[in-house]
Amino acid sequence: MIMEGLMNKLFRSLVCAYIFCAISINGFSVKPEVVLEQNLWVSGEDAEISEYRTPVMIRALNGDILAFAGARKISHGDASAKVIIMRRSKNGGNKWGPSVFVVDDYMNTDGLNLGNAIVDEQTGAIIFIYSFCIHNECDFSKYTPTNFKTVSYDHGYTWSPPVDLAEKSPFFEGWNWAPGPGYGIQKKLAPNVGRLFACGHWGNSTYGLMTCIYSDDHGETWTQSEFTVYLPNNMTKNVGDFTPGEPQIVELSDGRLLINARNQHFFHSRNRLIFYSDDGGKTFPMSNLRVDLTLLEPGCFASTLIHQGVMFFSNPFDKSSRVNMTLRWSLDEGMSWAGSLGIYSKGSGYSCLSPIDDNHIGLLFEKDGYKEMHFVKIKFA
C-alpha cells in the first residue's frame, strides 16, 4: 500500500511537470494537488452489500458534503436489489460520519437506480430523483417503470417518503428513463433563474434517447426537454452509432447550459459528446453538438463541475479501458483544457465532482474494479 501510494504521487507529479500544472485565470492561480484520500465504502465489509457503485456527491447549503452510492445487495449487476446509501462530512471531507440508508428497495429485482441529487438554493431543499424498474427485468404484474423523488429539508438528516413523479407529471408513467448518475443543477442566471434540472438517458439501447427534465416550481411538477434520439433509430447499435447517455449538465457564465455526455458507441471518435442549450434547457439541438477531441472516452460516466470560474472534468482517461482516473481543468468553459492531474492509474470507473470550499473540490470515484468507493480532496487554489 505504501509503495502504491508513492507510485501514485510520482504519477501525479510527472503529469503536472509535463503540462505545467500552475495556471492563472484573472490572477487566480489554478494549481490542483491532492491533499487527502480515503475510502468511504469498501465492497464486502458489510454482509448486506455486495458492491458500491454510482457515486453522487453534493455540498448542502449548510456546507456539509454528502456522498451517496448505489449499494447493490446481491450481485454487481445493474438490476440487483439496491439501497441509496449516504455518508456526511461536516468538515470539508476530512472526516465522515457513519453510513445511513436514504431509500431501500428491499429485495426488488430491477428496483431503484441512481440518480440525481439537486440542491435547491432558494428553498434549502435537497431533491433526490431516482428511477425504478428501468431494465425491463421487474415484475410487470406489480410495477411500472417510473421515477421517484425523496426530499430533505434539513440538509440530508431526514428524508421524505418517496413520491412517484407520475402522480403530478403523468409522462413518467411507464418511462424507463435513468437520471444521472451525478448531480442536478439549479439555474442561477437568466433565462429561467431558479429552474431545476435533472438529466439522463433512456434505458432501452435499441430505441433510445437522452433528455433532461426541468421544474419551475421547486420540483413539484416537471417538464421534458426535447429528446435527443439515438441514431440510427429503432435498430441495434454498433460501434460508430450515435448513442449519447449518462449526461452531466452545468450552467455557463452567459446562462447557456452545457451537457457533457457519455459517447456510448463512440460516434465519430472515442471522445466525449458536448451539447448546448440557448433556450433555458428546452432543447439541446444537434446543430450545437460538438465532439471534444481532448477528452478520451472508454464508455463510462464522467463528471463535469464549474466552480470559482474553472471547469473541472473527471473520468477514466483511456480510449478503451476504465483505468487512469484523471482530473482536467479549463479556463474557458471547456473550449480548451489547460492541464490535467492523474489521480489513480489503475482501475477507475464512475466519478462525481463536488465543490467543498473556495479553494477545494472533492472527487468520489469507483476504484479497482468497483471494490472501493474512493474520496479525494483536491486543493486547486
Structural domains of the chain ordered from first start: 2-379 (2.120.10.10)
- As a whole number of angstroms, the distance between CA 150 and CA 83 comes to 13
Q: Is residue 263 within 8 Å of 271, Cβ to Cβ? A: yes
- As a whole number of angstroms, the distance between CA 366 and CA 182 comes to 13
Residue 265: Cβ-neighbour burial (10 angstroms; 0-12, 13-18, 19+): middle
Just list the catalytic residues. Answer: 78, 350, 366
Kind of pairing between the strands at 51-59 and 65-72 = antiparallel
What's the pLDDT score for residue 48? 79
φ, ψ (nearest 5 deg) of residue 14: -65, -40
Task: Using the predicted structure, report yes or no on whether residue 204 has a pLDDT greater than 80.
Answer: no
Name the pLDDT band for 284 (thresholds 50, 70, 90): very high
Task: Using the predicted structure, report yes or no on whether residue 138 has a pLDDT greater than 70.
Answer: yes
Averaged pLDDT, 25-37? 84
Task: Using the predicted structure, report yes or no on whether residue 228 has a pLDDT greater than 80.
Answer: yes
Going by C-beta distance under 8 Å and a sequence separation of 6 or more, which residues neighbour residue 166?
A: 146, 147, 172, 173, 175
Name the pLDDT band for 107 (thresholds 50, 70, 90): low
Task: Using the predicted structure, report yes or no on whether residue 287 has a pLDDT greater than 60.
Answer: yes
Tell me, what DSSP letter sits at residue 183?
Answer: B
Question: Of 20-24, 57-61, 80-84, 229-233, where does mean pLDDT reach its minimum?
Answer: 20-24
Averaged pLDDT, 312-332? 98
What's the pLDDT score for residue 28? 64
Q: Is residue 289 within 8 Å of 273, Cβ to Cβ? A: yes
